[in-house]
Structure 1
Amino acid sequence: MTSLNQEYIDPVLVSLYGELNSWAPDNDFYMAMAGTTPKRILDVGAGMGIQACALAKAGHRVVAIEPSPQMLKQAQKSMGADLVQWHQTDAENLPSIKPVDLTICMGHAFQVFLDQSAVSTVLRAIQKTLKPGGEFIFESRNPLAKSWENWEKNTHVHQSQAFGEIECKTTVHSFENGLLTFANTYEFLRNGETKTSISTLRYFTHDQITQQLRKAGFSVKTIYGVWDQSPFAATSPEMIFVAVKE
């Protein structure tokens, strides 16, 4: 089971996570990929539930899984949450559900699986949930783009309605053998309190992911490089995979 960092456990940081991760271009992308014809959709690692709820309100039948009880609690308070079937579990232990047309795994959640064995387990579990010809859509940051080199430049002060001004900064600790370890630090300026969450992400290459998908019984339909559906190129910031169950 994948371990959870403080941003997904600490109630204050979970609330702040929701403020800092509002609707964005990736959400629009996944809505477009789902289309307008009602589908059965599985959202793996649903987080605060904004995508799952939006898809459900658009007429899709959505099953959402999230390993963090704190995030799941917040997600279930969202508008449209009553339309979603929620499960507290991780991707390695998917619940038994009716086959779905589409499975999504967004927010770079794919990168929390840190080794080949974990990825293999997750991909095979997801493959089993899909109908024949069903699609699995997910993204992973392109390691060749080295986006983490700019993260430390993004220090900023966030104005929170609940917590006042908060200085948010990221410190990269190391990048070795495809594993990036970094810390997100939040200083609450009204009282000087500081909370830090340390995370590790796996940066798989394009070829590694493609091979893993094929071993798990998928064919790769499309790979996008940007949320506007531009095709993937070597320097694209994202690797957005549309894989099909064979």
Structure 2
Amino acid sequence: MLHWSREHGHVGRLVGLDPDRAALARARRRADIEWVEGTAAGTSWQAEFDLATMTGHAFQFLVTDDDVRSSLAAIRAALRVGGRFAFETRHPQARAWEAWNPSNVSDFTDAVGRALRLWHEVEAVADGVVTFTGTVAEPNGAVLRNDRTSLRFLDVATLDALLAEAGFEVEARYGDWHRGPVTPASQEIITIARHM
């Protein structure tokens, strides 16, 4: 997203924040963007930005209320009054995790042209938190990497309560990437929240 912003004319300060050193090493190939290792909760920016985003369903990695609260507090502190926080999370009603099983293998090519396979296997679903393992392998099945992850699926009411508590007002909400409303069939909860 930051690369896209720069390539489409943004001339101001752009900062990327990520706890993954390998991802940052790849990102730092782009020197016209400031790259910071860490998490939202670990930052100490004060009223420095007009917009903060979390992409790739990263918000779901905040699995406890305390995780959400500390991240939202830091994001709000980093924004100027009236600044926006935009993010997406999978809608729990869609039960996306039910398709995360080894029979749902996807083949892809990585950034250096290497053919790979990816599949997931859910271990547990409890209190809105889904724990699963993602496996990356060569096309012949030789495993290269296993990652165990937990994601939280928040419903709209809980999400809005946490945002309000942190001093945000929901400015816009969408249920898909075409700006459709959140409906019983929505796969996503896409939120733009304003620092009050």
Question: Would you call these one fold, judging by a TM-score over 0.5?
Answer: yes
Q: CA deviation at 1:54?
A: 1.4
Q: CA deviation at 1:107?
A: 0.5
Q: Closer, same or farther in 2 for the Cα pair 1:168/1:233, shift >3 Å?
A: same
The match for 2:82 among 112, 115, 133 is 133
Q: Closer, same or farther in 2 for the Cα pair 1:123/1:167, shift >3 Å?
A: same
Give the AA of the match of 1:176: A
2:92 counterpart residue number: 143
1:192-220 deviation line (CA, Å, top 9, x unaligned): 34421111101111111100000010111
- Structure 1: state its 5+ residue gaps: 1-50
Contact preservation (8 Å) 2:46, 2:77: no
Correspondence list, 1:213-232, <5 A: 213-232=163-182
Q: Secondary structure at the match of 1:74?
A: helix
Contact preservation (8 Å) 1:164, 1:190: no
More strand by share: 2
Q: CA deviation at 1:134?
A: 1.0
Q: CA deviation at 1:234?
A: 2.8
The match for 2:34 among 85, 110, 132 is 85
Q: Closer, same or farther in 2 for the Cα pair 1:82/1:208, shift >3 Å?
A: same
Q: Percent identity?
A: 27
1:158 counterpart residue number: 108
Q: CA deviation at 1:131?
A: 1.4
Contact preservation (8 Å) 1:181, 1:201: yes
- The answer to whether 1:67 aligns with 2:16 is no
Contact preservation (8 Å) 2:47, 2:81: no
State the distance in 2 between where 1:53 and 1:95 align.
24
CA-atom RMSD in angstroms? 1.9
Contact preservation (8 Å) 1:145, 1:236: yes
1:87-140 deviation line (CA, Å, top 9, x unaligned): 111111114365211111111000101100110111011111111111111011
1:27-69 deviation line (CA, Å, top 9, x unaligned): xxxxxxxxxxxxxxxxxxxxxxxx1111122232311111111
Give the AA of the match of 1:94: T
Give the AA of the match of 1:175: V
- Structure 2: state its 5+ residue gaps: none
State the distance in 2 between where 1:215 and 1:151 align.
33
More helix by share: 1
Contact preservation (8 Å) 2:44, 2:74: no
TM score, norm. by length of structure 2: 0.90
1:5 counterpart residue number: none
2:59 counterpart residue number: 110
Aligned length: 193
Q: CA deviation at 1:172?
A: 1.2
Contact preservation (8 Å) 2:45, 2:77: no
